A and B are shown apart, each in its own frame.
Chain A
Amino acid sequence: MISVKNVSKSFENKAVLNNVSADFEPAKVNMIIGKSGSGKTVLLKSLVGLHEIDSGAILFSGIDFCSLKVKEKAKIRREVGMLFQGGALFDSATILENILYPLDLFTNKTYREKYQRVKFCLDRVNLQGVEKLYPAELSGGMQKRAAIARAIALNPKYLFCDEPNSGLDPQTAIVIDKLIQEITYEFNITTVVNTHDMNSVLESSDNINFIHQGKSWWYGHKEELLNTDNEELKQFLFSSEVMRRIKR
């Protein structure tokens, strides 16, 4: 369980997050939705201290992350797997090496065991025969999947995904959504997903946090989403003709 309590964050007196609160539950796909520029990425990065927050608290199973020392922060971070908006694979390393990195750094397994773990993770995301390739040699969707494989290599307790299916075709996008959902349930992960893709919200979300202008605006489940009377949320949801038709 991750609790975000009244978090504010600004960059050079430009307020981005304004008193945001949210609870992210274990074994659930917790989604953060909102317009481009509403502060989703900043919130996700603030959770693990990639941005320092100005005020508020972030609790990992009750432990206040921000008050921890560098070493203890690192310990929690090791339980976090993160999928970045652009994949963020190390481009000077092969896919195999990319996924080996966390294993090399934080386990004492033999090479054989580590290799099997890599294989397992790659299989899990349906990638075969790419170990020797470099990230630049994979397609965007394959890179995303490889990045997921890396994120789950150490059996994370928390999985953060920043727009996991942006820039992907609808079919691949669904594959990735499903994958995230499956591993969340399978390994009891507290998953937080940023997205503005309504399709994946309706497909695979358990809890939904709507962020608007840096504030927590709405919270609920997908069943309640379509019947909301929240004006801003309605505007966000039904900006497209298709969504308006779904509603009717």
Chain B
Amino acid sequence: MKFFEQLGRYFIFITQVFRKPEKSAVWFRQFVRELQTLGVNSVGIVILVSIFIGAAITIQTAYNMDNPLYPRYLVSLTTRDTLLLEFSSTIIALILAGKVGSNIASEIGTMRITEQIDALEIMGVNSASFIVSPKVFALVIFMPVLVIISIFVGIIGGWVSAILSGVVTTKDFVYGIQLEFKPFYIPYSLIKSVVYAYIIVTVSAFHGYYAKGGALDVGKSSTKAVVHSSILVLLFDLLLTQLILS
């Protein structure tokens, strides 16, 4: 019962978020600011995580294919496809659900309990659209950039680890990367990432926007934001994979 009530409130919230903004110049300024905080400021963690993921996949695959019958270039081919199909979109989304999601929920939750949202409403501003829609557009637009960065950096991480551990030669690695490349994997990955970005921002903003009580409750709502958006990311991973790939 409670679940459906929440769901209903979420959809009402969404209709408020996508109302026309009061003034486009002010909206655009917020949007640019959010591109910076949500997008650009996440590049570092995406690079860091992707290097390690790329390296780990390469080394694991190499050890799993420790049979001389398998050509070594399969290792980099597997790394590439794993990154493209799953890791660079889904794992990055999970990381961002933690970083960006908790950031959004606690920011908006604090605005709620310190009456900043009321202050906006008093000015005659639609607070949901004013605060949330620049965030949605910023992350939805920037997320594909993060995914592309992640794919490149992940492959470089794999290559470096291959060389350092000596499991694959550079020649084999490069050959495998180019072999049987299916260009369709890239839009597939980007489409998933856009959906994830939308989920992360709207779900986290929803939890922050309806926070009530004190600082402790803001903490709780930001935990909920991370948990719920992570679960939804995984659920939609399954749905979209079924939908697009099969």
Contacts and interface: CB of A to CB of B under 8 A. Distances in A.
Q: A and B bound?
A: yes
Interface of A: 45, 48, 50, 73-75, 77-78, 80-82, 84-86, 88-92, 101-102, 104-106
Contacts of B122: 48, 50, 77, 80-82
A101 B118 contact: no
B123 A106 contact: yes
B86 interface: no
Q: Is the interface of B mostly helix, strand, loop or mixed?
A: helix
A104 B23 contact: yes
B35 to A, nearest CB: 15
B119 A82 contact: yes
Contact of A88 (B25, B118, B125): B118
B115 interface: yes
Given A88-B114, A88-B116, A105 B121 contact: no
A92 B106 CA distance: 13
Contacts of A101: 26, 123
B66 interface: no
B115 A78 contact: no
A86 B26 contact: no
Contact of A105 (B26, B115, B116, B118): B26
A243 B25 CA distance: 54
Contacts of B126: 74
A90 B22 CA distance: 18
Contact of A78 (B23, B114, B124): B124
B114 A86 contact: yes
B81 interface: no
Given A105-B22, A105-B23, A105-B26, A86 B115 contact: yes
B125 A105 contact: yes
B121 A77 contact: yes
A78 B119 CA distance: 11
B172 interface: no
A52 to B, nearest CB: 12
B107 A77 contact: no
A90 B124 contact: no
Nearest to B122: A82
A92 B107 contact: yes
10 contacts: A48-B122, A77-B123, A78-B123, A86-B114, A86-B115, A88-B114, A89-B116, A91-B116, A102-B123, A105-B23
Contacts of A91: 110, 114, 116
Give me the 9 closest cross-chain CB pairs, A-B, nearest first.
A74-B124, A88-B115, A77-B124, A78-B124, A88-B119, A84-B115, A82-B122, A88-B116, A102-B123
Contacts of A104: 23, 25-26
A85 B123 contact: no
B118 A45 contact: yes
Interface string B16-34: 0000001101100000000
A74 B22 CA distance: 11
Contact of A84 (B23, B26, B110, B119): B119
A92 B119 CA distance: 14
Interface in B89-122: 107, 110-111, 114-116, 118-119, 121-122
A209 to B, nearest CB: 21
B115 A85 contact: yes
B209 to A, nearest CB: 14
Contacts of A78: 123-124
Contact of A106 (B25, B116, B124): B124
Contacts of A85: 115
Contacts of B115: 84-86, 88
A221 B204 CA distance: 49
A100 to B, nearest CB: 10
B123 A84 contact: no
Contacts of B22: 105-106
Which of B23, B118, B122, B126: most chain A CB closer than 10 A?
B122
B121 A50 contact: yes
A48 B122 CA distance: 7
Given A82-B122, A88-B115, 12 more contacts: A77-B122, A77-B123, A82-B118, A86-B115, A88-B116, A90-B111, A101-B26, A102-B123, A104-B23, A104-B25, A104-B26, A106-B22
Contacts of A84: 115, 118-119
A48 B126 CA distance: 14
